[in-house]
Homo-oligomer: A and B are copies of this chain.
Amino acid sequence: MARTLNVGMIGYGFMGRAHSNAYHQVAHFFPGEIRPVLKAVCARDEQKVKQFAETWGYESIETDWRRLVARPDIDLVDICTPNNLHKEIAVEAARHGKMILCEKPLAMNSAEGKEMVEAVEKAGVPNMVWYNYRRVPAVTLAKQLIEEGRLGKIFHYRAVFLQDWTISAELPQGGTALWRLDVAAAGSGVTGDLLAHCIDTAIWLNGPITRVTAMTETFIKERKHVLTGKVEKVGIDDACAFLARFANGSLAVFESTRYARGHKALYTFEINGEKASIAWDLHDLHRLSYFDHRDESRVRGWRSIHVTDSDMPYMKHWWVPGLQIGYEHTFIHQVADFLEAIAKGQVAHPTFRDALETQKVCDAVLKSAQTGQWVDVESVDG
Protein backbone atom coordinates (compact mmCIF):
# COMPACT_ATOMS: atom_id res chain seq x y z
CA MET A 1 0.00 0.00 0.00
CA ALA A 2 1.18 3.49 -0.83
CA ARG A 3 2.04 5.96 1.91
CA THR A 4 -0.04 9.10 1.84
CA LEU A 5 1.16 12.67 1.60
CA ASN A 6 -1.24 15.37 2.69
CA VAL A 7 -1.43 18.33 0.39
CA GLY A 8 -2.56 21.81 1.40
CA MET A 9 -3.19 24.02 -1.57
CA ILE A 10 -3.30 27.82 -1.41
CA GLY A 11 -5.18 29.40 -4.29
CA TYR A 12 -7.77 27.86 -6.57
CA GLY A 13 -7.35 29.66 -9.83
CA PHE A 14 -6.06 28.33 -13.11
CA MET A 15 -3.02 26.78 -11.43
CA GLY A 16 -5.05 25.46 -8.54
CA ARG A 17 -7.01 23.36 -11.01
CA ALA A 18 -3.91 22.21 -12.88
CA HIS A 19 -2.21 21.10 -9.67
CA SER A 20 -5.30 19.48 -8.19
CA ASN A 21 -5.72 17.48 -11.34
CA ALA A 22 -2.09 16.41 -11.15
CA TYR A 23 -2.44 15.11 -7.61
CA HIS A 24 -5.45 13.03 -8.70
CA GLN A 25 -4.00 11.70 -11.90
CA VAL A 26 -0.62 10.71 -10.59
CA ALA A 27 -2.22 7.84 -8.69
CA HIS A 28 -3.85 6.52 -11.84
CA PHE A 29 -0.97 6.80 -14.25
CA PHE A 30 2.15 6.86 -12.07
CA PRO A 31 1.21 4.76 -9.05
CA GLY A 32 4.15 4.71 -6.65
CA GLU A 33 5.10 4.49 -3.02
CA ILE A 34 3.54 7.77 -2.09
CA ARG A 35 -0.01 8.77 -2.84
CA PRO A 36 -1.01 12.42 -2.47
CA VAL A 37 -4.15 13.20 -0.51
CA LEU A 38 -6.01 16.44 -1.11
CA LYS A 39 -6.26 17.43 2.52
CA ALA A 40 -7.13 21.10 2.37
CA VAL A 41 -7.51 24.03 0.03
CA CYS A 42 -7.31 27.62 1.12
CA ALA A 43 -8.62 30.88 -0.31
CA ARG A 44 -10.32 33.98 1.05
CA ASP A 45 -13.75 33.50 -0.51
CA GLU A 46 -15.34 30.77 1.60
CA GLN A 47 -18.21 30.09 -0.77
CA LYS A 48 -15.98 29.64 -3.76
CA VAL A 49 -13.36 27.62 -1.99
CA LYS A 50 -16.05 25.25 -0.72
CA GLN A 51 -17.27 24.66 -4.22
CA PHE A 52 -13.73 24.12 -5.46
CA ALA A 53 -13.11 21.67 -2.63
CA GLU A 54 -16.19 19.71 -3.54
CA THR A 55 -15.36 19.53 -7.22
CA TRP A 56 -11.83 18.40 -6.61
CA GLY A 57 -12.37 16.28 -3.53
CA TYR A 58 -10.46 18.31 -0.95
CA GLU A 59 -11.29 17.09 2.52
CA SER A 60 -11.35 20.51 4.16
CA ILE A 61 -11.00 24.21 3.52
CA GLU A 62 -9.28 27.19 5.04
CA THR A 63 -9.73 30.88 4.39
CA ASP A 64 -6.48 32.04 6.00
CA TRP A 65 -3.26 30.66 4.63
CA ARG A 66 -1.54 31.12 7.98
CA ARG A 67 -3.89 28.56 9.46
CA LEU A 68 -3.27 26.17 6.60
CA VAL A 69 0.52 26.21 6.82
CA ALA A 70 0.29 25.70 10.58
CA ARG A 71 -1.95 22.62 10.40
CA PRO A 72 -0.15 19.55 11.65
CA ASP A 73 -2.00 17.29 9.20
CA ILE A 74 -0.52 19.07 6.21
CA ASP A 75 2.72 17.64 4.80
CA LEU A 76 3.09 19.74 1.70
CA VAL A 77 2.07 23.30 0.95
CA ASP A 78 1.38 24.17 -2.67
CA ILE A 79 1.50 27.90 -3.37
CA CYS A 80 -0.74 28.99 -6.26
CA THR A 81 -1.24 32.60 -5.27
CA PRO A 82 -0.21 35.74 -7.11
CA ASN A 83 3.53 36.33 -6.98
CA ASN A 84 3.47 38.93 -4.24
CA LEU A 85 2.48 36.32 -1.66
CA HIS A 86 5.00 33.62 -2.58
CA LYS A 87 7.74 34.72 -0.24
CA GLU A 88 5.72 35.28 2.85
CA ILE A 89 3.87 31.99 2.55
CA ALA A 90 6.94 30.01 1.64
CA VAL A 91 8.99 31.35 4.52
CA GLU A 92 6.20 30.63 6.97
CA ALA A 93 5.54 27.16 5.54
CA ALA A 94 9.22 26.35 5.79
CA ARG A 95 9.20 27.52 9.39
CA HIS A 96 6.51 24.91 9.99
CA GLY A 97 8.64 22.26 8.30
CA LYS A 98 6.37 21.75 5.34
CA MET A 99 7.49 20.60 1.93
CA ILE A 100 6.76 23.37 -0.54
CA LEU A 101 5.77 23.44 -4.17
CA CYS A 102 5.61 27.01 -5.41
CA GLU A 103 4.21 28.39 -8.65
CA LYS A 104 6.62 30.26 -10.88
CA PRO A 105 8.22 32.72 -10.93
CA LEU A 106 9.74 31.98 -7.58
CA ALA A 107 9.30 35.51 -6.28
CA MET A 108 8.81 39.19 -7.05
CA ASN A 109 12.56 39.55 -7.46
CA SER A 110 15.77 37.78 -6.62
CA ALA A 111 16.13 39.39 -3.23
CA GLU A 112 12.87 37.79 -2.18
CA GLY A 113 13.90 34.61 -3.92
CA LYS A 114 17.09 34.48 -1.92
CA GLU A 115 15.13 34.67 1.33
CA MET A 116 12.95 31.80 0.18
CA VAL A 117 15.94 29.66 -0.74
CA GLU A 118 17.49 30.33 2.64
CA ALA A 119 14.24 29.47 4.40
CA VAL A 120 13.72 26.08 2.73
CA GLU A 121 17.37 25.13 2.92
CA LYS A 122 17.55 26.06 6.59
CA ALA A 123 14.38 24.06 7.24
CA GLY A 124 15.69 21.19 5.14
CA VAL A 125 12.33 20.69 3.43
CA PRO A 126 11.86 19.36 -0.09
CA ASN A 127 10.98 22.21 -2.40
CA MET A 128 10.26 22.67 -6.05
CA VAL A 129 9.00 25.33 -8.43
CA TRP A 130 6.36 24.66 -11.08
CA TYR A 131 8.39 25.27 -14.22
CA ASN A 132 6.21 22.64 -15.79
CA TYR A 133 7.47 22.83 -19.38
CA ARG A 134 10.58 20.85 -18.48
CA ARG A 135 8.25 17.85 -18.27
CA VAL A 136 6.69 18.07 -21.69
CA PRO A 137 7.95 14.72 -23.05
CA ALA A 138 9.40 16.40 -26.13
CA VAL A 139 11.31 18.88 -23.97
CA THR A 140 12.61 16.14 -21.71
CA LEU A 141 13.67 14.30 -24.84
CA ALA A 142 15.56 17.40 -25.96
CA LYS A 143 17.36 17.41 -22.62
CA GLN A 144 18.35 13.77 -23.08
CA LEU A 145 19.60 14.32 -26.62
CA ILE A 146 21.74 17.22 -25.48
CA GLU A 147 23.14 15.29 -22.52
CA GLU A 148 24.02 12.44 -24.84
CA GLY A 149 26.19 14.91 -26.73
CA ARG A 150 24.29 14.64 -29.97
CA LEU A 151 24.33 18.33 -30.73
CA GLY A 152 28.05 18.80 -30.13
CA LYS A 153 29.25 22.28 -29.29
CA ILE A 154 26.30 24.66 -28.97
CA PHE A 155 26.42 27.88 -30.98
CA HIS A 156 22.93 29.34 -30.67
CA TYR A 157 19.87 29.35 -28.49
CA ARG A 158 16.70 31.23 -29.33
CA ALA A 159 13.38 31.30 -27.60
CA VAL A 160 10.18 33.28 -27.77
CA PHE A 161 6.97 33.25 -25.77
CA LEU A 162 4.32 35.10 -27.73
CA GLN A 163 0.76 35.87 -26.73
CA ASP A 164 -1.87 38.33 -27.85
CA TRP A 165 -4.45 38.53 -25.09
CA THR A 166 -3.75 42.03 -23.75
CA ILE A 167 -3.86 44.04 -26.96
CA SER A 168 -7.20 45.63 -26.15
CA ALA A 169 -6.89 48.90 -24.22
CA GLU A 170 -10.27 48.10 -22.64
CA LEU A 171 -8.81 45.27 -20.61
CA PRO A 172 -8.43 46.37 -16.98
CA GLN A 173 -5.64 45.43 -14.60
CA GLY A 174 -5.64 43.79 -11.17
CA GLY A 175 -8.10 41.72 -9.21
CA THR A 176 -8.39 37.95 -9.18
CA ALA A 177 -8.49 37.46 -12.91
CA LEU A 178 -6.05 40.07 -14.13
CA TRP A 179 -3.44 40.33 -11.40
CA ARG A 180 -0.81 39.48 -14.02
CA LEU A 181 -1.27 43.01 -15.40
CA ASP A 182 -0.84 44.63 -11.98
CA VAL A 183 2.80 45.20 -11.10
CA ALA A 184 2.03 45.20 -7.39
CA ALA A 185 0.80 41.61 -7.58
CA ALA A 186 2.97 40.28 -10.39
CA GLY A 187 6.28 42.06 -9.92
CA SER A 188 6.78 42.30 -13.68
CA GLY A 189 4.93 41.54 -16.90
CA VAL A 190 6.07 39.11 -19.53
CA THR A 191 9.53 38.87 -18.00
CA GLY A 192 8.42 37.06 -14.88
CA ASP A 193 5.38 35.42 -16.40
CA LEU A 194 6.64 34.12 -19.73
CA LEU A 195 10.37 34.70 -20.16
CA ALA A 196 10.92 33.02 -16.80
CA HIS A 197 9.72 29.79 -18.45
CA CYS A 198 12.08 30.33 -21.38
CA ILE A 199 15.00 31.08 -19.08
CA ASP A 200 14.35 28.08 -16.86
CA THR A 201 14.35 25.75 -19.85
CA ALA A 202 17.39 27.44 -21.34
CA ILE A 203 19.51 27.13 -18.21
CA TRP A 204 18.40 23.53 -17.82
CA LEU A 205 19.29 22.66 -21.40
CA ASN A 206 22.28 24.88 -22.03
CA GLY A 207 23.77 25.96 -18.71
CA PRO A 208 24.21 29.35 -17.03
CA ILE A 209 23.44 32.65 -18.71
CA THR A 210 26.16 35.15 -17.91
CA ARG A 211 25.26 38.50 -19.50
CA VAL A 212 22.24 40.17 -21.01
CA THR A 213 21.15 43.33 -22.76
CA ALA A 214 17.43 43.98 -22.93
CA MET A 215 14.64 46.27 -23.96
CA THR A 216 11.10 46.39 -22.63
CA GLU A 217 7.99 48.23 -23.66
CA THR A 218 4.59 48.98 -22.18
CA PHE A 219 2.32 49.61 -25.14
CA ILE A 220 -0.77 50.50 -23.13
CA LYS A 221 0.39 53.00 -20.57
CA GLU A 222 -2.75 53.19 -18.42
CA ARG A 223 -5.53 50.78 -17.62
CA LYS A 224 -8.46 50.88 -15.27
CA HIS A 225 -7.69 49.00 -12.05
CA VAL A 226 -10.24 46.38 -11.08
CA LEU A 227 -9.93 47.02 -7.37
CA THR A 228 -9.81 50.82 -7.29
CA GLY A 229 -11.98 51.38 -10.34
CA LYS A 230 -9.58 54.12 -11.39
CA VAL A 231 -7.42 54.44 -14.47
CA GLU A 232 -3.90 53.79 -13.23
CA LYS A 233 -0.45 53.64 -14.70
CA VAL A 234 0.51 50.20 -16.00
CA GLY A 235 3.70 49.13 -14.26
CA ILE A 236 4.42 45.89 -16.06
CA ASP A 237 6.36 45.20 -19.23
CA ASP A 238 4.05 44.25 -22.11
CA ALA A 239 7.00 43.08 -24.16
CA CYS A 240 10.62 42.25 -23.47
CA ALA A 241 13.46 41.10 -25.67
CA PHE A 242 17.04 40.43 -24.73
CA LEU A 243 20.33 39.22 -26.13
CA ALA A 244 22.38 36.93 -23.95
CA ARG A 245 25.56 34.97 -23.68
CA PHE A 246 25.82 31.59 -22.03
CA ALA A 247 28.80 30.39 -20.03
CA ASN A 248 29.44 27.75 -22.71
CA GLY A 249 30.10 30.42 -25.34
CA SER A 250 26.80 30.22 -27.16
CA LEU A 251 24.70 33.24 -28.07
CA ALA A 252 21.03 33.66 -27.33
CA VAL A 253 18.07 35.77 -28.32
CA PHE A 254 14.93 35.79 -26.17
CA GLU A 255 11.69 37.60 -26.77
CA SER A 256 8.30 37.70 -25.18
CA THR A 257 5.21 39.79 -25.66
CA ARG A 258 1.48 39.80 -25.16
CA TYR A 259 1.05 41.82 -28.37
CA ALA A 260 1.89 39.22 -31.01
CA ARG A 261 -1.41 38.95 -32.82
CA GLY A 262 -2.12 35.37 -33.80
CA HIS A 263 -0.19 33.65 -31.05
CA LYS A 264 -1.94 32.36 -27.98
CA ALA A 265 0.84 30.68 -26.05
CA LEU A 266 3.59 30.24 -28.60
CA TYR A 267 6.56 29.21 -26.53
CA THR A 268 9.22 28.01 -28.94
CA PHE A 269 12.90 27.31 -28.60
CA GLU A 270 15.63 26.24 -30.97
CA ILE A 271 19.18 25.13 -30.24
CA ASN A 272 21.86 24.93 -32.90
CA GLY A 273 24.83 22.73 -32.28
CA GLU A 274 27.82 21.81 -34.37
CA LYS A 275 26.37 18.43 -35.25
CA ALA A 276 22.65 18.72 -34.74
CA SER A 277 19.84 21.12 -33.96
CA ILE A 278 16.61 20.89 -32.01
CA ALA A 279 13.42 22.93 -32.10
CA TRP A 280 10.21 22.78 -30.11
CA ASP A 281 6.89 24.60 -30.09
CA LEU A 282 4.27 24.68 -27.32
CA HIS A 283 1.43 24.94 -29.84
CA ASP A 284 2.30 21.40 -30.98
CA LEU A 285 3.94 20.25 -27.79
CA HIS A 286 3.86 16.58 -28.69
CA ARG A 287 6.41 17.00 -31.47
CA LEU A 288 10.14 17.65 -31.45
CA SER A 289 12.01 18.86 -34.51
CA TYR A 290 15.46 17.42 -34.91
CA PHE A 291 18.10 17.90 -37.58
CA ASP A 292 21.18 15.71 -37.62
CA HIS A 293 24.02 16.75 -39.90
CA ARG A 294 25.46 13.24 -39.69
CA ASP A 295 22.56 11.93 -41.76
CA GLU A 296 23.50 11.03 -45.30
CA SER A 297 23.25 14.23 -47.29
CA ARG A 298 20.60 13.24 -49.82
CA VAL A 299 18.13 12.22 -47.13
CA ARG A 300 19.00 14.87 -44.61
CA GLY A 301 16.25 17.11 -43.33
CA TRP A 302 14.45 18.28 -40.24
CA ARG A 303 12.71 15.35 -38.60
CA SER A 304 9.35 15.85 -36.99
CA ILE A 305 9.33 13.40 -34.11
CA HIS A 306 5.85 12.55 -32.85
CA VAL A 307 6.78 12.03 -29.22
CA THR A 308 4.21 9.41 -28.31
CA ASP A 309 6.03 6.07 -28.34
CA SER A 310 6.58 4.17 -25.14
CA ASP A 311 10.33 4.74 -25.21
CA MET A 312 9.80 8.47 -25.00
CA PRO A 313 10.02 10.24 -21.63
CA TYR A 314 6.90 9.60 -19.51
CA MET A 315 4.99 8.10 -22.42
CA LYS A 316 4.89 4.45 -21.36
CA HIS A 317 2.46 5.62 -18.68
CA TRP A 318 -0.02 6.95 -21.20
CA TRP A 319 -1.57 5.56 -24.38
CA VAL A 320 -0.20 4.01 -27.56
CA PRO A 321 2.00 5.45 -30.33
CA GLY A 322 0.33 8.26 -32.22
CA LEU A 323 -2.02 9.31 -29.42
CA GLN A 324 -0.98 12.60 -27.97
CA ILE A 325 -1.18 14.01 -24.49
CA GLY A 326 -1.53 17.71 -23.69
CA TYR A 327 -0.74 20.60 -21.41
CA GLU A 328 -2.06 19.31 -18.10
CA HIS A 329 0.17 16.24 -18.23
CA THR A 330 3.27 18.29 -17.54
CA PHE A 331 2.00 18.90 -14.02
CA ILE A 332 1.25 15.23 -13.50
CA HIS A 333 4.80 14.38 -14.54
CA GLN A 334 6.17 16.94 -12.17
CA VAL A 335 4.22 15.54 -9.22
CA ALA A 336 5.22 12.02 -10.21
CA ASP A 337 8.88 12.98 -10.26
CA PHE A 338 8.60 14.86 -6.99
CA LEU A 339 6.94 11.93 -5.23
CA GLU A 340 9.45 9.47 -6.58
CA ALA A 341 12.31 11.71 -5.49
CA ILE A 342 11.12 12.07 -1.93
CA ALA A 343 10.37 8.35 -1.77
CA LYS A 344 13.98 7.72 -2.71
CA GLY A 345 15.42 10.56 -0.62
CA GLN A 346 16.51 12.38 -3.73
CA VAL A 347 16.04 15.95 -4.93
CA ALA A 348 13.55 16.83 -7.68
CA HIS A 349 14.29 19.83 -9.83
CA PRO A 350 13.86 22.73 -10.32
CA THR A 351 14.36 23.51 -6.65
CA PHE A 352 13.96 26.98 -5.19
CA ARG A 353 17.71 27.37 -5.69
CA ASP A 354 17.43 26.44 -9.36
CA ALA A 355 14.56 28.90 -9.73
CA LEU A 356 16.56 31.64 -8.05
CA GLU A 357 19.02 31.42 -10.93
CA THR A 358 16.18 32.15 -13.34
CA GLN A 359 15.00 34.98 -11.09
CA LYS A 360 18.42 36.56 -11.25
CA VAL A 361 18.41 36.49 -15.03
CA CYS A 362 14.97 38.14 -14.96
CA ASP A 363 16.28 40.83 -12.64
CA ALA A 364 19.31 41.37 -14.86
CA VAL A 365 17.02 41.68 -17.87
CA LEU A 366 14.81 44.27 -16.21
CA LYS A 367 17.83 46.19 -14.96
CA SER A 368 19.37 46.23 -18.43
CA ALA A 369 16.12 47.45 -19.94
CA GLN A 370 16.18 50.34 -17.48
CA THR A 371 19.84 51.25 -17.84
CA GLY A 372 20.45 50.46 -21.50
CA GLN A 373 23.59 48.59 -20.49
CA TRP A 374 24.73 44.99 -20.63
CA VAL A 375 24.29 43.48 -17.16
CA ASP A 376 26.22 40.59 -15.64
CA VAL A 377 23.83 38.10 -14.08
CA GLU A 378 26.26 37.58 -11.23
CA SER A 379 26.06 41.27 -10.37
CA VAL A 380 22.40 40.91 -9.41
CA ASP A 381 21.60 40.66 -5.72
CA GLY A 382 20.07 37.35 -4.75
Contacts from A to B (Cβ < 8 Å): 14, 18, 20-21, 24, 27-28, 31, 55-56, 141, 144-145, 150-151, 155-156, 158, 160, 162-165, 167, 213-215, 217, 219, 239, 241-243, 245, 251, 253, 255, 257, 259-266, 272-277, 282-288, 290-293, 295, 297-306, 308-309, 311-312, 318-329, 372-374
Contacts and interface: CB of A to CB of B under 8 A. Distances in A.
Contacts of A320: 14, 264-265
A329 to B, nearest CB: 7
- Secondary structure at chain A's binding surface: helix, strand, loop or mixed? mixed
A22 to B, nearest CB: 11
Contacts of A257: 155-156, 251, 272
Given A260-B277, A272-B262, A298 B141 contact: yes
10 contacts: A14-B319, A28-B55, A156-B239, A156-B260, A165-B321, A215-B251, A260-B272, A261-B291, A287-B301, A323-B326
A322 B266 contact: yes
A165 B20 CA distance: 36
A163 to B, nearest CB: 7
Nearest to A152: B261
A302 B325 CA distance: 20
B276 A298 contact: no
A304 B304 contact: yes
A370 to B, nearest CB: 13
Contacts of A163: 322
A306 B302 CA distance: 9
Contacts of A265: 320-323
A187 to B, nearest CB: 20
A288 to B, nearest CB: 8
Contacts of A214: 243
Contacts of A287: 301
Contacts of A373: 372-373
A267 to B, nearest CB: 9
Contact of A261 (B20, B56, B274, B308): B274
